[in-house]
Structure 1
Amino acid sequence: MSELPKSQNFDEKWPRYYQAVAGRVPRNTLLAALERFDNEEPDRKGRFAVDLGCGEGRDTVELLRRGWRVLAIDGNAEAFERMLARPDLQNVELLETKLGKFQDTTWPETDLINGSFCLPFCPPEYFSQLWDKIVQSIRVGGRFSGQLFGDRDDWAKIPTHSHFTQAQVEKFLEPFEIEVFNIEEEDGKTALQEPKHWHIFHIVARKK
């Protein structure tokens, strides 16, 4: 058997990744989704979000700052340690955390599922189940914000990752009204400064 790509060793890399992205601003897809919620009902209170693969909390912190209730889910306990130690963490009484893998984790009905750069790490054999769970849990009028990775991305060769053609992504989004659909394809670097060809679909979509 040939040697697996070094980029498969993600369990070893997460602590360095958290350190590398510490203090970065929320993802643009999350901000675009929140702007649309605010434009629809600017004074509404008590909205609920699930932040999948929350990491060190760059998106969770923004949701809490805006008064959202948040269930933050991640498969690495260090993510929560770093999040809870952040000096910009507000409204911690609105936060619930859950440690677990995508395929083993459940969550209640929600206004928003945020999946920033995390869904490719769901193994392919579980992805359909995960996506069905995402779609079914979002209320009508609720949103998905996040990224899916394309078939020309360098990580698409890793058998434990989930990558898709544009046609497949568009099929996934049929239950939604697409509000943002930007395709990024370029040579660049990861947060750990490793060279990488990126092929990413940046998405904000409203449940029909």
Structure 2
Amino acid sequence: MPDYINYPTKNNVFERDWTAYYSAVVGRPPRDTLLTALAHFEAEESAASSRLAVDLGCGEGRDTVELLRRGWRVLGIDGEPEAIARLLNRPDINQNHLQTQIIRFEEMILPEAVDLINASFSLPFCPPEYFPNLWKKIVLSLRSGGRFCGQLFGDRDSWAIYTSMNHHTRQQLDLLLQPFEVEMLEEEDHPGKTALGEDKHWHLFQIVARKR
């Protein structure tokens, strides 16, 4: 279940208490979209030690840790210094295969020929005016045969009222995924809870896609 936290806003700007969020999700397993993407890679013939993943909005590292455990090299990117501090303080990571960067989505530069870009519940928090360029960066950064996995929020999500976030219709999503072979696409549209148990309507797309 999705696990972001909803807080009062001003001028339709979504505000987050990231410290509370990180504490709420401690110990949770890697997300299914990442596990699905990794299963596809493991079915292919390629040495894991040569694979590079970028974890966008890596947070305290629930997905990063799984990538490192499987022998991937990882660049963890997050705009929150606390997220990177928590990640680097984890006892269960191999820092020899980990690089980190504290930077906002609209400012980052991605490496070339990346095998996997993982963005678990992070891309919707990119301001909408910067999202098209961010998505272009993601597509260009991936090598042919590389994968994107993560989530985008739909237009019926209850957070679609926030102008600081980006949301997409199914038709818009189909256009975004044109450079990819879609391996997993699940649409969720249902009431639910945030990490702190607050009521929320979720409309989201769970995505795993292989670049053509």
Q: Shorter-chain-normalised TM-score: which range?
A: over 0.9
Q: How many residue pairs were aligned?
A: 203
Shift, 1:45, TM fit? 2.5
The match for 1:9 is 15
Cα distance 1:3–1:100, how it changes in 2: closer, same or farther (>3 A)? Answer: closer
Question: What pairs with 1:1-208 in structure 2 (closer than 5 Å)?
Answer: 3-4=10-11, 8-10=14-16, 13-41=17-45, 43-89=47-93, 91-109=94-112, 110-208=114-212
Shift, 1:88, TM fit? 2.0
- Give the TM-score normalised by structure 2: 0.92
Q: Which amino acid aligns with 1:103?
A: E
What is the Cα-based RMSD across aligned positions, in Å? 1.4
The gaps in structure 1 that reach 5 residues or longer are: none
User: Residues of 1 paired with 2:44 and 2:105: CA distance?
Assistant: 30
The gaps in structure 2 that reach 5 residues or longer are: 1-8
User: Residues of 2 paired with 1:173 and 1:3: CA distance?
Assistant: 33
- Give the TM-score normalised by structure 1: 0.94
Shift, 1:185, TM fit? 1.1
Runs of 4+ in 1 over 6 A off after TM superposition: none
CA offsets 1:34-74 (integer angstroms, 9 cap, x no match): 00000012644310000000000000000000110000000
Task: Give the secondary structure class of the aligned counterpart of 2:19.
Answer: helix
Shift, 1:172, TM fit? 0.1
Q: Which amino acid aligns with 1:202?
A: Q
- Structure in which a larger fraction of residues adopt helix: 1
